[in-house]
Structures are given as C-alpha cells and as structure tokens.
Amino acid sequence: MARTPLIAGNWKLNLDHLEATHTVQKLAWLLRDAKHDFADVEVAILPSFTSLRSVQTLVDADRLEVKYGAQDISAHVSGAYTGEVAGSQLAKLGCDFVAVGHSERRQYHAETDEVVASKTKAAFDNGIIPIVCVGEGLDIRKAGDQVSYTLAQVDGALAGLPADRAKDVVIAYEPVWAIGTGEVATPADAQEVCGAIRGRLAELYDAELADGVRVLYGGSVKSSSIAQLMAEPDVDGALVGGASLDPEEFAKIARFRAHQVGL
C-alpha cells in the first residue's frame, strides 16, 4: 500500500498569530513556486492555539493546500478544566491534525500513557487525526531498550482504539535525545524503531492496517538529513520542530524528493 508522506511542522511555543499567518503565506508561496504536489507529500503545520483561527482564515480564503492542527487537545469534552482546549473547538477551527503525547507534554505536564490514550480518543471523536508521539530518552537508548520502551508507549496510546480509527492514526517516533539537540538519529536508528512500530501495529491489528499507517520520524530533522531518512522503508515523513519555523528550510524538507536524487 502506498503511504502518502507527511511532513508536519511543530512550531511549539513560537510565533504570534501575525507571524504565523506570514509564515504560512511564505511557505505556501515557496511550495507553489516549486510546483509542490500536495497529493504526493502532505504538508502540515501545528501552530499555537492562539494562531489557529488566523491560519484557518488564511487557508480558507486563499484555498491553500497546507494543512494545520494543534499541538495538544484536552482529554475532556467540556466543563471545569481551566486553560484546556477541547477537540470540538479544534474541529470548529478546521484542524486536520493534533499532536498527542509529545515528549515535552509528557515531561513538563506529566502526561501518562493513559492520558495520551484519552487524548487520542478525543481527537478521533472529533474527526481530527492524532499524531501520537513516542520515543525513548538517552538513558534508555544507552541501555539498548529503545524498541521495547517505545512499543510500550504505542500499546498505551492505542489501548482500546478500534481498527477503524487506528487505520488513520499517525505515529511519530521522536527519540527524546534527538529533539532540539541537533543530534539527528541515523537513518538506521530511525528505521529500527519505525519498523518495530509497524510490526507492533500488525500484531495489535493486522498487517494490512499496519501497512497503511504513517510512521514519522522526529528529532532535529533538517533539509540536509531528510532525504536519507525518507529513503528508509518504514519512515513515512517527519515531525519537524526548530527547522519548521523557517519557511525556506521547511519547504526544502517538504520537497525531499528533489534532493533524493543521487542518494
């Protein structure tokens, strides 16, 4: 089954809504100039909540093919949860995607696998595709336990998720030691865990479902490293942090096929 690559930019806590619209505009123009075919490689950005309405307005008005989503979602539907943003609110803003269980949420907001599973469910309940983030820290990598650790996170995040939803999930393998450090995993490191994630999906569901799910790599991805990563059979795209803030660099990452020639 052919999986459409997904290149998603996680802007984290950067850019106000004016900067966000400017950046999306620039990205869209760069990709338009490059005749980027969005049917071949999907491109999405995940700005702050405060930018979503402006991004929606721009994308709708200019009929841009760039997709967008949020960096987090509440596990709750509504009620007394100060500061949280519900899936229904994100759906109203046209979000296609939402990142769930990013390591920064797990670390700074104590998100457990149970919380990640609830948020995954909340996304699907509202027709939003969750990008479920998993990945080991440095101590676990040094002990050689990256596969078992990451697969346990996959099991936790997908607990109770029926196949008709799991077929649409996106999983991002982001080793914590590679996030924001400039230390990108080798293509072989990325393939080892991304391949194991697909294998686990086949065990949890079936081989056909596993074959259709997109597994991304994330952690210090740049235009200079994306082509080699994408050449791996089980890497179906990237979740890009720092490099996605620069539209020229991010557009180059999205156009990885142009520089895959000569690999």
Q: Is 241 in the site for ligand PGA (CB under 6 A)?
A: yes
Which DSSP string corresponds to 181-196? TS-PPPHHHHHHHHHH
CB 121 within 8 A of CB 159: no
**Cα separation of 86 and 74, whole Å?**
5
Q: Which stretch binds ligand PGA (CB under 6 A): 60-68, 83-91, 124-132, 236-244?
A: 236-244
Q: Which of 117, 103, 69, 104 is nearest to 244 (CA)?
A: 69
In this complex, which beta carbon is closest to ligand PGA, that of residue 96 or of residue 209? 96
Binding mask 212-231 for ligand PGA (x = CB under 6 A): ------xxxx----------
Q: Is 71 in the site for ligand PGA (CB under 6 A)?
A: no
Q: How many residues bind ligand PGA (CB under 6 A)?
A: 13
CB 26 within 8 A of CB 247: yes
Q: Report in angstroms how near the CB of residue 103 gets to ligand PGA at its nearest.
A: 7
In this complex, which beta carbon is closest to ligand PGA, that of residue 187 or of residue 199? 187
> In 70-168, where does DSSP find H-type helix?
87-92, 103-108, 113-125, 138-142, 146-158, 163-166
| Strands, E assignment, the chain | 6-10, 42-46, 67-70, 97-100, 129-134, 170-173, 214-218, 237-240
Contact with ligand PGA (CB under 6 A) among 24, 129, 166, 179: 179
**Cα separation of 21 and 1, whole Å?**
35
Q: Is 175 in the site for ligand PGA (CB under 6 A)?
A: no
**What is the dihedral sign for C-alpha 109, 112, 117, 121?**
negative
Contact with ligand PGA (CB under 6 A) among 240, 251, 253, 254: 240
Within 10 angstroms of residue 87's Cβ, the number of other Cβ atoms is 25
Please name the residue that has the structure tokens 């990563």: 229
Q: Report in angstroms how near the CB of residue 22 gets to ligand PGA at its nearest.
A: 20
Contact with ligand PGA (CB under 6 A) among 113, 136, 174, 232: 174
Q: Is 120 in the site for ligand PGA (CB under 6 A)?
A: no
Q: Is 73 in the site for ligand PGA (CB under 6 A)?
A: no
Catalytic status, residue 174 = yes
Q: Report in angstroms how near the CB of residue 57 gets to ligand PGA at its nearest.
A: 25
Residues that are catalytic: 102, 174
Q: Catalog residues that contact ligand PGA under the rule CB under 6 A.
A: 10, 174, 179-180, 218-221, 239-243
